[in-house]
A and B are shown apart, each in its own frame.
Chain A
Amino acid sequence: MADEKKIAVEKKIGAYICNGCGIGERLDSSQLETTAKRDGKAAICQQHDFLCSEAGVKMIQDDIDNEGVNRVVIAACSRRAKTEAFAFKDVVVIRSNLREGVIWVRPDEDDQRETTQEMADDYIRMGCAEAKYANIPSASGQQSVNKNILIAGGGISGMTAALEASKAGYPCTIVEKSSALGGATAQLYKKIPTRAPYADPEDTGVDAMIAAVEADSNITVFLNSTLTNTAGAPGRFTADISTESGSTETKEFGAIVQASGFTPYDANNLPEFAYGKNKDVVTQMELEALAKTANGGAIKRPSDGKEVSSVLFIQCAGQRSTKAGHLEHCSGYCCSASIKEAMYFKDQNTAIDTTVLYTDLRTPGAGGENFYRSGQNKGVIFTKGIASEVVDGANPTVKFKDLILDEDVSMEVDLVVLATGMVANAGQPTRAEITLSENEAKEAGTEYKVSVESILNLDYRQGKDVPHMTNGFADSHFICFPYETQRTGIYTAGPTRRPMDTRQAMDDATGAAMKAISEAENAGLGKAAHPRVADLSFPSFRQEGCTQCKRCTVECPFGAINETEDGYPEFNESRCRRCGTCMGACPVRVISFENYSIDTVGQQLKAVDIPDEFDEKPRILVLACENDAYPALDMAAQNRLEYSAFTRIIPVRCLGSVSLSWITDSMNSGYDGVILMGCPSGDDYQCHFVKGSAMAQERMSKVGDTLETLSLEKERVQTYEISITDIQKVPQLINEMAETIEKIGMSPFKF
């Protein structure tokens, strides 16, 4: 079916010019019409005073139905406006941005009319050129619907994800490594409160949840089991589930939730606190066990079974520290956990002295502050200070510096509790990272061995687990896209994603389950996942041109491209996020999408009318990321911030998709400057495709040499990192380029 469509008859362009929103008053519409017909080769061109109205839309639909128009160029507002009105089916829809792109960024003055009109004419030419080279995408046919959700981990996060997905009608399979469900939460006496007034520890609710999972016929549980191989792509994952006893079962899934939890930081790394030496120095998890044994009665200390009458909690033990072997991050839950554990004592006997030694008390979440106050109310003493040592003895003695009173204090107590942090169970590093470590070890004359077990055992060329982000947690973008990883269709939830408490883990699991469901459905239809939701296009390549350089497979941020035995790329379209980073990576330009290709952009920039050098009308090409930079430009227009009339803007899917050929083509065509606008890269990246903007930065760093061979100034090509809020900045950057050109002169490459 897909092929039938591709054969589809001749391309017939219909261009439709809107005269509404002031476009008609500011621009010469009949001139635009002439341009569309003469230069854009539009078979039909019509004007309307109110194109997005019912009548305007009907006019276009009539031409599609009766005149065979299959390439619709809407010359009106930005592609981000009126998307519902202009959503015509089974045709290519291209938007020429005359409102936000032209009249709103130029002053309404007589002496500006000529250059404003030229801008609009160019956008018509560009729209028609894009229309000519764009095709209607359709799914590859690789897709299949599979509603089964695989959940790795049977703790509170995994069970919540399973129950939520099951409630929505999606069968789930939980694979749990240990012999029981419940995870870390099952080891707790009570949990941090989840409901108002957030004053007291709450029952964990684990037993009830396990019972609910076991009673749910939609949920299958594998205990004592691990995933020994996970292959495929969203909609068609296959997983080998192996039990301890040696049997393996292979099952198919639409999407995966990884809820593999955390491992408590190993307190044996903290000899300064006498851990391992003095039995009455315990971790928070060990205190939970003592509290469970006491079960509401007096908590007895490990060394001699004495009822504890004084206890001190050392916060941030081995964490928020750059010392070797310590964790750099804040685990986020330990302050609330210590408050909760101090209450175990206070609720049993108010006379027990409980001290929490902290540097910054952090109690995140809606009820965090209330819980802190409740702890104070119950008489827990909070002391701001840093512990330096726990001296071993019949009773441990904590030496600390009181930061408020600025003095050194020694405090002898019955029991010391160390608030150690969370280490994510995130599996192994990527293959590239392992190779790097191996090489480093080799140079140092040692051997590198991966010390952790894989969680998913992915059959991906890029590695066995999802890539890790800061501090070893498996997340990709915690601000904009929580739960998403760099492996499409695999979502992380709970402390494997970032440190958190039980309540947050449950919220997390619900979110991840929702993401998994929507991806199972999207993959079934061959549609892209976030952020190009519902995009049907997917990358294809001309094998005869491919040089098997592997750049596309290496640079794909989502591990979507495998290699065939012959070394050619093998696209897994449902793993693909349609960012086009592979297209930007390909040195021989053989990768393209139906509706986004070297030509759809390349022909646009060539369609622009480049005036003679002596006209003193330079041309500035802006390639703007559609996720942040293009909306920022639109918003600048909404605020009527002006920029140079010599600007021509082309939105791109991601800066990672920008082909160097576009830069050289534009230079050869006589553009005077090129600006690339992408999302911030680096540790706090905002790239919607994780690595796209970073890849572009890397590639553009080499453009300077190309420019030199053309004897062009380096300043003619600039790359900027733009956030969606940089509304004031974007027009400034364009105007700075205009000034630069004025300074260094026009490009000599105009013909």
Chain B
Amino acid sequence: MSNLNTGMVEKYRNNFLNEVEANVEEGEWVKMCMQCGVCSGSCPLGPYWDHPPQELFMMIRAGKREEVLESTSMWMCTSCYNCLVRCPRELPITHIMHGLAHYATRLGIEPKGQPTRQFAQLFWDNLAKNGRVNELWLGVNLYFMNGFVNGIKVAMGMAGIGLGMYKSGRLSIKELIGGHTVKDKSGFKAMIKKAQELESARVDK
């Protein structure tokens, strides 16, 4: 268990709802759920969630801290915002799902092997490096994220697609060396660093 995680458990004395309200993006809305279930019924990947949003909200209220944060559920969110626009209470459900995923990651208790979790981290690392996404490297990293041998297999499977993209001018080999980037890289990185510091200070408080 990470230090931050232990600290949080101490701090909130198992009052998970309070912890979520204080630390999860848009978490203050969780208590306003009225348990109608429209979110769960509107989710395109609904059947794949161990606990659909409605249930996650109830679990947070019931203090099921580990079950929620270690769950793969919110990593099933495709960010389609269907739940959000349909929620009769107008809760920012999509954002709360992202927020829970991020908070679990911050505490280091997120489901490590979850593919979306891995891809999402790759995406962030990719953009944070140059300020812009390098699609080729993103793809390469994605295919090799589960080790070299497996990566070759996946890459072979996706080769047709990559070739199609390449042929149609939508995948550039130039990206492998250098590629797109913001010019003010140092300013960009300083900005991100500062934002991260400010946010950490808020959570650690």
Q: Does B31 contact A (CB under 8 A)?
A: yes
Contact in complex: A377, B62 (CB < 8 Å): no
Contact in complex: B62, A382 (CB < 8 Å): no
Contact in complex: A377, B32 (CB < 8 Å): yes
Chain B interface, number of residues (Cβ within 8 angstroms): 12
Q: Residue B17 contacts which of A361, A373, A381 (CB distance < 8 angstroms)?
A: A381
Contact in complex: B35, A402 (CB < 8 Å): no
Q: Does B58 contact A (CB under 8 A)?
A: yes
Contact in complex: A402, B31 (CB < 8 Å): no
A377 surroundings in chain B (CB, below 8 A): 31-32
Distance A372 CA – B31 CA, assembled complex (angstroms)? 11
Distance A376 CA – B34 CA, assembled complex (angstroms)? 9
Q: Does B128 contact A (CB under 8 A)?
A: no
Q: Does A472 contact B (CB under 8 A)?
A: no
Nearest Cβ on chain A to B1's Cβ, whole angstroms: 24
Q: Does B5 contact A (CB under 8 A)?
A: no
Distance A49 CA – B62 CA, assembled complex (angstroms)? 78
Taken residue by residue from 47 to 70, chain B's Cβ proximity to chain A (1 for < 8 Å, 0 otherwise) reads as: 000000011001101100000000
Could you tell me which residues of chain A, from 388 to 414, have a CB within 8 Å of some CB in chain B? 402, 404-405, 409
Contact in complex: A382, B55 (CB < 8 Å): no
Contact in complex: B61, A383 (CB < 8 Å): yes
Q: Does A384 contact B (CB under 8 A)?
A: yes
Taken residue by residue from 684 to 697, chain A's Cβ proximity to chain B (1 for < 8 Å, 0 otherwise) reads as: 00000000000000
Chain A interface, number of residues (Cβ within 8 angstroms): 14
Distance A381 CA – B18 CA, assembled complex (angstroms)? 12
Q: Residue B55 contacts which of A373, A383, A405, A409 (CB distance < 8 angstroms)?
A: A405
Contact in complex: A405, B32 (CB < 8 Å): no
Taken residue by residue from 347 to 368, chain A's Cβ proximity to chain B (1 for < 8 Å, 0 otherwise) reads as: 0000000000000010000000
Nearest Cβ on chain A to B35's Cβ, whole angstroms: 5
Contact in complex: B34, A402 (CB < 8 Å): no
Nearest Cβ on chain B to A383's Cβ, whole angstroms: 7
Contact in complex: A382, B59 (CB < 8 Å): no
A404 surroundings in chain B (CB, below 8 A): 35, 54-55, 58
Contact in complex: B32, A402 (CB < 8 Å): no
B32 surroundings in chain A (CB, below 8 A): 373, 376-377
A376 surroundings in chain B (CB, below 8 A): 31-32, 34
Contact in complex: A405, B59 (CB < 8 Å): yes
Q: Which residue of A lies closest to B58 (CB)?
A: A404
Nearest Cβ on chain B to A210's Cβ, whole angstroms: 38
Q: Does A704 contact B (CB under 8 A)?
A: no
Known contacts A404-B54, A404-B55; is-contact A383 B31 (Cβ 8 Å): no
Is the contact region of chain A dominated by helix, strand, or loop, or is it mixed?
mixed
Contact in complex: A372, B58 (CB < 8 Å): no
Contact in complex: B35, A384 (CB < 8 Å): yes
Q: Does A651 contact B (CB under 8 A)?
A: no
Contact in complex: A383, B34 (CB < 8 Å): no
Contact in complex: A405, B31 (CB < 8 Å): no
Q: Residue B58 contacts which of A361, A373, A379, A402 (CB distance < 8 angstroms)?
A: A402
Q: Which residue of B lies closest to A378 (CB)?
A: B31
B59 surroundings in chain A (CB, below 8 A): 405
Distance A402 CA – B64 CA, assembled complex (angstroms)? 13
Q: Residue A402 contacts which of B17, B54, B62, B89 (CB distance < 8 angstroms)?
A: B62
Q: Which residue of B lies closest to A411 (CB)?
A: B62
Distance A405 CA – B64 CA, assembled complex (angstroms)? 11
Distance A206 CA – B35 CA, assembled complex (angstroms)? 36
A361 surroundings in chain B (CB, below 8 A): 34
Which among A372, A404, A405 has the greatest number of chain B C-beta atoms within 10 A?
A404
A382 surroundings in chain B (CB, below 8 A): 34-35, 61
Q: Which residue of B lies closest to A407 (CB)?
A: B62
Q: Which residue of A lies closest to B33 (CB)?
A: A376
Distance A718 CA – B55 CA, assembled complex (angstroms)? 55
Distance A379 CA – B18 CA, assembled complex (angstroms)? 9
Which among B32, B58, B59 has the greatest number of chain A C-beta atoms within 10 A?
B58
B17 surroundings in chain A (CB, below 8 A): 379, 381
Nearest Cβ on chain B to A413's Cβ, whole angstroms: 14
Taken residue by residue from 16 to 34, chain B's Cβ proximity to chain A (1 for < 8 Å, 0 otherwise) reads as: 0100000000000001101
Contact in complex: B61, A372 (CB < 8 Å): no
Distance A402 CA – B58 CA, assembled complex (angstroms)? 10
Distance A382 CA – B58 CA, assembled complex (angstroms)? 9
A381 surroundings in chain B (CB, below 8 A): 17, 31, 61
Q: Which residue of A lies closest to B59 (CB)?
A: A405
Contact in complex: A372, B62 (CB < 8 Å): no
Taken residue by residue from 80 to 103, chain B's Cβ proximity to chain A (1 for < 8 Å, 0 otherwise) reads as: 000000000100000000000000
A402 surroundings in chain B (CB, below 8 A): 58, 62
Q: Which residue of A lies closest to B67 (CB)?
A: A405
Distance A375 CA – B89 CA, assembled complex (angstroms)? 14
Nearest Cβ on chain A to B21's Cβ, whole angstroms: 9
Nearest Cβ on chain A to B68's Cβ, whole angstroms: 11
Nearest Cβ on chain A to B169's Cβ, whole angstroms: 51
Q: Which residue of B lies closest to A361 (CB)?
A: B34
Distance A75 CA – B32 CA, assembled complex (angstroms)? 64
Taken residue by residue from 161 to 184, chain B's Cβ proximity to chain A (1 for < 8 Å, 0 otherwise) reads as: 000000000000000000000000
Distance A383 CA – B35 CA, assembled complex (angstroms)? 9
Nearest Cβ on chain A to B83's Cβ, whole angstroms: 16
Distance A434 CA – B54 CA, assembled complex (angstroms)? 51
Contact in complex: B34, A372 (CB < 8 Å): yes
Nearest Cβ on chain A to B29's Cβ, whole angstroms: 10
Taken residue by residue from 135 to 170, chain A's Cβ proximity to chain B (1 for < 8 Å, 0 otherwise) reads as: 000000000000000000000000000000000000
Known contacts A404-B54, A404-B55, A405-B55; is-contact A379 B62 (Cβ 8 Å): no
Distance A381 CA – B31 CA, assembled complex (angstroms)? 7
Distance A573 CA – B58 CA, assembled complex (angstroms)? 62
Distance A405 CA – B32 CA, assembled complex (angstroms)? 17
Distance A376 CA – B35 CA, assembled complex (angstroms)? 12
B34 surroundings in chain A (CB, below 8 A): 361, 372, 376, 382
Q: Which residue of A lies closest to B61 (CB)?
A: A381
Contact in complex: A405, B35 (CB < 8 Å): no
B31 surroundings in chain A (CB, below 8 A): 376-377, 379, 381
Q: Which residue of B lies closest to A373 (CB)?
A: B32
Nearest Cβ on chain A to B140's Cβ, whole angstroms: 42
B62 surroundings in chain A (CB, below 8 A): 383, 402, 405, 409
A373 surroundings in chain B (CB, below 8 A): 32, 89
A384 surroundings in chain B (CB, below 8 A): 35, 58
Distance A372 CA – B33 CA, assembled complex (angstroms)? 11
Additional A-B contact list (7), CB under 8 Å, known A377-B32, A405-B62: A361-B34, A372-B34, A376-B31, A381-B61, A383-B58, A384-B35, A405-B55
The 5 closest A-B pairs by CB, nearest first: A404-B58, A376-B32, A376-B31, A381-B61, A384-B35
A to B CB contacts below 8 Å, 13 in the list:
A376-B31, A376-B32, A381-B61, A382-B34, A382-B61, A383-B58, A383-B62, A402-B62, A404-B35, A404-B55, A405-B55, A405-B58, A405-B59
